[in-house]
Structure 1
């Protein structure tokens, strides 16, 4: 019975992680495309809060329940699908950690522009380019992890 609860929490946390990440990316990108520094600053503030409240805890729960399930099932981390999923999980993390900093930087730059009544700076646009391009390997990796979790190829 404990196994099923942990598995349910693992699936739920993966769904929360993917859904929150996709939602954050969507709303932040839409705000960015509007080009209004005030809207961007407010959206970025919400994005930073959402990452702290939902994404970060889901990452921890995802990893902890995954390790528990692996050990409970006696599955060595050398199993192809599991090893690949773990590598991809760390790829996602390697993209997400700088994205956290980039989101906070974009928020600060947009807030400064809005407060001064100025246009968004070139530094803001560089920050968003990095944010955008780091999102793609993370997104593709998460999709691959879902595929691996479902199919479990040998």
Structure 2
């Protein structure tokens, strides 16, 4: 596989990862703000589904394709921008894994509340807060990874 083909797939995967993550976060947040349980339940269902269909494959493909490009280009893994990218990507993953768990829990909680025609519990809203705050460092980390991927150096450090 050529470097340019891998790079193209890597960029498309990154766009899909960002788009799905940001879109899912926006629509979940808007559904939660509506306080309409039917809307919240269906949105949570779709957010979980989008993570399985789009986010998970991209999360797996990103480091594999990145390492393939590093190998083909002959860059040392010890380059600062590569080390920083891997650390930031790992941080995003450490935040994302509990987010997956929280989304599945919130999906089940909102579906049960809808079936039982009752309000969402305070636990749901506590999990929503945790979900939001785990997303902040994950998203910020990914923005920095993209910047490092594009510029291939740390700001103020050179190459």
Q: Which TM bucket (shorter chain)? A: over 0.9
1:148 corresponds in structure 2 to 148
Secondary structure in 2 aligned to 1:119?
A: coil
1:117 corresponds in structure 2 to 117
| Structure 1 gap segments, 5+ residues each | none
Whole-Å separation in 1 of the counterparts to 2:35 and 2:127: 14
Whole-Å separation in 2 of the counterparts to 1:11 and 1:81: 17
Secondary structure in 2 aligned to 1:76?
A: coil
1:70 corresponds in structure 2 to 70
1:28 corresponds in structure 2 to 28
Number of residues of Structure 1 aligned to a counterpart in Structure 2: 154
Whole-Å separation in 1 of the counterparts to 2:151 and 2:70: 16
Q: Cα distance, 1:120 vs. partner?
A: 0.9
- Structure 2 length normalisation: TM-score? 0.94
Secondary structure in 2 aligned to 1:50?
A: helix
Instruction: Map 1:4-15 onto structure 2 (within 5 A).
Output: 4-15=4-15
Instruction: Map 1:73-152 onto structure 2 (within 5 A).
Output: 73-152=73-152
| Structure 2 gap segments, 5+ residues each | 154-158
Q: Cα distance, 1:43 vs. partner?
A: 0.5
| RMSD between superposed Cα atoms in Å | 1.0
- CA offsets, 1:110-136, max 9 Å, x none? 111111111110110111011000000
- Structure 1 length normalisation: TM-score? 0.97
